[in-house]
Chains A and B, each alone.
Chain A
């Protein structure tokens, strides 16, 4: 019986004990209260995907001439199969898989996202410009994390960046609530700017009327810009090795 009790103790003892991150206790300000929706996507990777999708998905209820440009831009995005976007965001480190979580009162973090579809499966790679050169890969249900070029974590993971799921989340949960959706479109030469207010977040997307592409997307919470792309490239050659 004593052996069995020892065995039970072993089962109940944590096997994935993690150290408390250093940044806890350094921020003296309580985080702003946020909606349940925000909490669902507060992980940096998921949030960036949502911002991209909301930027595009806003074409669902356009009211002026720019509709066609935005709609074509979305179609081009879906057909692009690959894209690369460099961005900055305000975030704090997180112990979770996504490494950072969005925090309007956090520090500026820069990174690059690569996305490629293989047989409708999204493969996503985030390269963070941090001191450990952190790379996070979601590849066909696998999660990989590299620090300084060394593999530090690998496990099965549901593909959090499934564009279909994200689109459903964005359209069904956000855009369907018309009372919370305010939108304005302005045209300035070749540039079309579309602002969409979704719950707490203002997503601002810029489109080129000339080549019918989204050229920039960003997001604000309470007037604080917490994420914006610097460049977006479409249809580029991304070798499979980038997602391994």
Chain B
């Protein structure tokens, strides 16, 4: 695979990839490093890369990079949803990322990942299905289950 194709795919998706990494890692700086790691990983594997769907490969790689960065930094998932107040608008990126991660912590990871790809990277369900190698109907169902679980939890907390 030639370098120009990799660069062009990265350029096309860069803002979506960046947003995904920012909110997953809860840090702009970590997100920048994660994207740089992704680029270097792609370039270094260039001679042996045989990819049919470049976009799916990029998102899967970035997801793995984020997971290992979170593990290395021993960054614990945010789970204390009880004190949450959804009426209070987040004032900055940090508050927004914290709120989103707390809400996503109450649902299974496979549902959270679909919600991230849909809302943070603005991908279609078809794209997400290709990235996760799942049927589109499963992706749509899991997305809705995820939202519904969060809705029920917030109802229990009298937030909606």
Contact = CB atoms under 8 A, between A and B. Distances in A.
Interface of A: 1, 4-5, 7-9, 11-21, 24-25, 27-28, 30-31, 42-43, 94-96, 101, 155-156
B119 A13 contact: yes
Describe A's contact surface by its main secondary structure. loop
Given A18-B18, A24-B32, A24-B36, A5 B151 contact: yes
B33 to A, nearest CB: 7
B22 interface: yes
B128 to A, nearest CB: 15
Contact of B28 (A12, A18, A28): A18
B40 interface: yes
Contacts of A156: 91
A7 B148 CA distance: 11
Given A5-B147, A27-B36, A96 B29 contact: yes
B139 interface: no
Contact of A94 (B18, B32, B100, B150): B32
B35 interface: yes
Given A16-B96, A18-B22, A95-B29, A11 B17 contact: no
Nearest to A156: B91
Given A14-B23, A16-B96, 19 more contacts: A4-B160, A5-B148, A7-B160, A8-B103, A8-B147, A8-B151, A11-B86, A11-B103, A12-B115, A12-B147, A12-B150, A13-B120, A17-B15, A21-B32, A24-B35, A24-B36, A95-B28, A95-B31, A155-B92
Contacts of A13: 119-120
Interface string B27-66: 1110111011101100100000000000000000000000
Given A8-B147, A12-B103, A96-B29, A24 B22 contact: no
B70 interface: no
B117 to A, nearest CB: 12
Interface of B: 7, 10-11, 14-15, 17-19, 22-23, 27-29, 31-33, 35-37, 39-40, 43, 86, 89-93, 96-97, 99-100, 103-104, 115, 119-120, 144, 147-148, 150-151, 154, 160
A8 B7 CA distance: 35
20 contacts: A1-B151, A5-B147, A7-B160, A9-B119, A11-B100, A12-B104, A12-B119, A17-B15, A18-B18, A18-B22, A18-B28, A20-B18, A21-B32, A24-B14, A24-B35, A25-B35, A25-B39, A28-B43, A31-B33, A95-B28
Nearest to B86: A11
Contacts of B17: 20
A14 B28 contact: no
A18 B104 contact: no
B15 A19 contact: yes
B17 to A, nearest CB: 7
Contacts of B37: 30
B89 to A, nearest CB: 8
Contacts of A14: 19, 22-23, 96-97, 100, 119-120
Nearest to A30: B40
A95 B15 CA distance: 13
Contacts of B35: 20, 24-25
A9 B40 CA distance: 33
A36 to B, nearest CB: 9
B14 A9 contact: no
B82 to A, nearest CB: 16
Interface centre among B35, B36, B90, B120 (most CB of A within 10 A): B36
A107 to B, nearest CB: 15
